[in-house]
Chain A
């Protein structure tokens, strides 16, 4: 079993839809959870960064963490064609730039105008 599982998709939605992206993980030591967006042939860009369980909102993006279920989600409201990208979840066990991140495979999202 991989440490982090993420459905690779592809996921195709119409413009304006609410998108739900999810990851599960097996390592209960993970406490810091991140979502990165990666456009084709580009490096990952940090979207959301959360600690432990709970919700965090930033504009159209909401990140949720449920540590009891080892499950994290990213919601995108009013999705736009510019949101079309691969979304990677990542996690670590300590709050330090020195910690290797463990990534999911990424979910490819297409938002159709």
Chain B
């Protein structure tokens, strides 16, 4: 059983560009959460998707948006990239209990 997978592994963008990150949850998991982990910091919650709807959102601007597909996979989109958006973006999937399984992350560098 494959765990949570994310793509791409890493990418480099310039300020003002837009980026899309992808996540496939563990088999049987219907909830996907996205976290941002800046260097030297713990992960911070961005938002969560369930049944193709954004169910909860952390303290992130509207430049951060997402989507969940019928197969539960998810995308994170960031518009108008800022230097401060450089971070490891983590996807976590979960079933109904509290054990969230994290993927390996996508490392985004904004120049």
Chain B 27-60, CB-CB to A under 8 Å as 1, else 0, gives: 0010101010000111111001010000110100
> Does A60 have its Cβ within 8 Å of any Cβ on chain B?
no
Contacts of B4 in A (CB 8 A): 43
A46 engages B42 (CB within 8 Å): no
Chain A 75-113, CB-CB to B under 8 Å as 1, else 0, gives: 000000000000010101011111111111110000000
A43 engages B105 (CB within 8 Å): yes
How many A-B contacts at CB < 8 Å in the complex? 74
Contacts of B98 in A (CB 8 A): 32, 34, 49, 92, 94-97, 99
Who on chain A is nearest to B30 by CB? A97
User: Which one of A41, A44, A97, A98 contacts B43 once the chains associate, using CB atoms below 8 Å?
Assistant: A44
B107 engages A104 (CB within 8 Å): no
> What size tier do the contact residues of chain B reach?
20 to 34
A98 engages B55 (CB within 8 Å): yes
Who on chain A is nearest to B107 by CB? A41
Distance of B68 from chain A, by nearest CB (Å): 13
> Does A62 have its Cβ within 8 Å of any Cβ on chain B?
no
Who on chain B is nearest to A108 by CB? B40
A96 engages B97 (CB within 8 Å): yes
A97 engages B103 (CB within 8 Å): no
With A41-B107, A46-B99, A92-B98 known as contacts, the answer to whether A98 contacts B41 (CB < 8 A) is no
Docked Cα-Cα span, A100 to B99, in Å, equals: 11
Chain A residues within 8 Å of B, Cβ to Cβ? 4, 6, 8, 32, 34, 36, 41-46, 49, 88, 90, 92, 94-106
